[in-house]
Amino acid sequence: MAALPKKLLRVALIVSVLGGLYLLALERHAERDRMRAAAVELTPGCKAKLAGYALAPGDVYSSPYVRRMSNAWITARGYSAEDVRAIERGCNIFDDLQGHLAQDASERWYARRFVRGSHTTCDHCHQSIGDKQDAAGNRLVGSNSMAASWVMADMYDRFTGLLLPHELRQMQCYINSSNGFKPNAADDLMRDVTAYSRFLSAALDMKIGNHYLEQGIAEIPASATLKRGDDYVRGAYLFKEKCAGCHGPQGLGIVVDGKAVYPAVAGPNAYSMDSRMNFAMVNSVMPGFICRNMPPGAEGSLENQDCRDIAYYLGTLPRAAGDRQGPLVAAWQQLMMTVMPPLTRYAESLVGNRPLHDAD
């Protein structure tokens, strides 16, 4: 008879552990529900952007942008209060993924944990909160527009030929910058960012299935230069001259009060080795980004070859390994990221402030 109480005890133990986990799940679900129901505190950038597109709950939606640019009056199905909150949350994530501008940084806990380091936010690459325009309001070619990306959702990926839902394309961004795991495709994070991108495409009146030139980065392949070859030594020189003022001498970014004022382009806080921004991975994307967007205020001042050289130099700086490269590469990169900055600083202190190249 001693066996029966023992069995009962075992069953009771298992059931109570499973029941405890279920109660924990109920509690966490309630937390998510509270988050979905709570009013959203917008960042200044998002406030301006969404007000400009007149986002509000209602039965119909009509974009002021389309009215202004084309004098057309187009109405679309409106957004519920819940939709509006999702779009606002998505915009906040885009503008300020790390929660630097939020009242409480833990507000973005469900997004921040999938991204490596304390600098990265979507806005760094998808500039102007995923919707870059010139002063007249014209959208810019190759500006990584999220609206143009959404309308190409569920199209065949041109690299792999696979049917690529927007969620999975978004996942590739987390792979590029993530710290070892990426969100589940059903996470609120994915839904909110998708909701925001989708709203942008409605506000700009972009048509689903069309390819717009705003999508992606206008790449600069070697064929767009005089083909004298990429040179990371020259890239280092240019970086010192043009970029180091903001991004720091070794591209580690500038942080004030725990907030990244200028993001890192190397080291543990920057994009990983698996990213398409990494010159060693795809050698035409980063040059394109630099030529289009850098330095701020003087965009377009760099030659194509300059951008390629700078991107090549960035590719030689130590950065975190990608998720698919395995633990050995990750450990090696960690070592490099720890050892190289002080070594480089020491080596440069020997040279002093003399330029790296003597002007012959």
Partner 1 sequence: MNALAAALPQILPALRGNLLVGLTLAVVTLPQAIAFSTTLAGLPPHFGIYAAIWGVLFTALLNPSRVFSGGPNTTMSAAVGITLLPVAPQYGTDYIGYALTLILLAGLIQLLFALIRPLGRMLDLISEPIIDGMICGIGLFLVFKSLTTFAGLPVNTEVEWPLWIAWHSFLAVLEFGNLYAIQIGLITLVASLVARQFDALRKWAILIGVAAGTSYSAYLGSTVGLENTMVEQIGNLGPVGFVFPSLPVFNQEALPNIISILPGAVTLALLGLFQTVAAMRRMSRKIGAFTDSRKGIFSDAVSNCLLPLLSSLPTCASFNRMWLVYSMGGNSRVTSALSAFFLLLMVLFLAGVIAIIPMPAMAAIIMLLGVNMIKWEDIRPHLRDRREAVVFLASFLSVLFLDLFGAVVVGSILAIAYSKWEQANPKVSLRGNVLKIRGNIYYGSLPVIESTYHQAIARVDNLVIDFSDCYYIDPEGLRWLAAAKAGHNVGFVDRRAGPDRRAQAEALDRRDGEERRSAEADARRDRRQGEERRENLRRRTRDRRQRSEF
Residues lying near partner 1 in the complex (CB under 8 A): 7, 10-11, 14-15, 18, 21-22, 24-26, 28-29, 31-32, 110, 156, 160-163, 171, 175, 180-188, 323-324, 326-327
CA max distance for the chain: 97
Cα–Cα distance measured from residue 298 to residue 262, given in angstroms and rounded to the nearest whole number: 16
Tokens 């377009």 sit on residue? 300
* Least separation in angstroms between CB 321 and partner 1: 11
Cα–Cα distance measured from residue 210 to residue 151, given in angstroms and rounded to the nearest whole number: 7
* Least separation in angstroms between CB 28 and partner 1: 4
* Least separation in angstroms between CB 289 and partner 1: 25
Cβ-based nearer residue to partner 1, 35 or 244: 35
**Residue 117 to residues 123, 180, 264, 334, 360: CA-CA distances in angstroms?**
15, 12, 9, 13, 42
Cβ-based nearer residue to partner 1, 133 or 172: 172
Cβ-based nearer residue to partner 1, 253 or 268: 268
Cβ-based nearer residue to partner 1, 112 or 247: 112
**Residue 148 to residues 2, 75, 86, 187, 288: CA-CA distances in angstroms?**
70, 19, 19, 23, 18
Q: Could you give the angle at which helices 188-203 and 3-37 cross, rounded to 10 degrees?
A: 20
Cβ-based nearer residue to partner 1, 11 or 233: 11
* Least separation in angstroms between CB 258 and partner 1: 25
Cβ-based nearer residue to partner 1, 95 or 188: 188
* Least separation in angstroms between CB 34 and partner 1: 12
* Least separation in angstroms between CB 332 and partner 1: 15
* Least separation in angstroms between CB 24 and partner 1: 6
Q: In the structure encoding, which two tokens stand for residue 231, read together?
A: 């040179």
Q: Are strands 163-164 and 155-156 parallel, antiparallel or unpaired?
A: antiparallel
Three-state secondary structure call for residue 141 = coil
| Beta-bridge mates of residue 319 | 267
Cβ-based nearer residue to partner 1, 11 or 76: 11
* Least separation in angstroms between CB 269 and partner 1: 19
* Least separation in angstroms between CB 14 and partner 1: 5
- Residue pair 66/123 in contact (Cβ under 8 Å)? The answer is no
Cβ-based nearer residue to partner 1, 185 or 335: 185
Q: Could you give the angle at which helices 188-203 and 81-95 cross, rounded to 10 degrees?
A: 100
Tokens 């289009």 sit on residue? 292
Per-residue buried b or exposed e for 58-72, using 16+ beta carbons within 10 Å of the residue's own CB: eeebebebbeebeee
* Least separation in angstroms between CB 156 and partner 1: 7
Cβ-based nearer residue to partner 1, 6 or 354: 6
Cβ-based nearer residue to partner 1, 180 or 229: 180
Cα–Cα distance measured from residue 20 to residue 14, given in angstroms and rounded to the nearest whole number: 10
What are the strands, taking DSSP E only, across 131-262? 155-156, 163-164, 254-256, 259-262
**Residue 296 to residues 31, 91, 244, 334: CA-CA distances in angstroms?**
40, 22, 13, 31
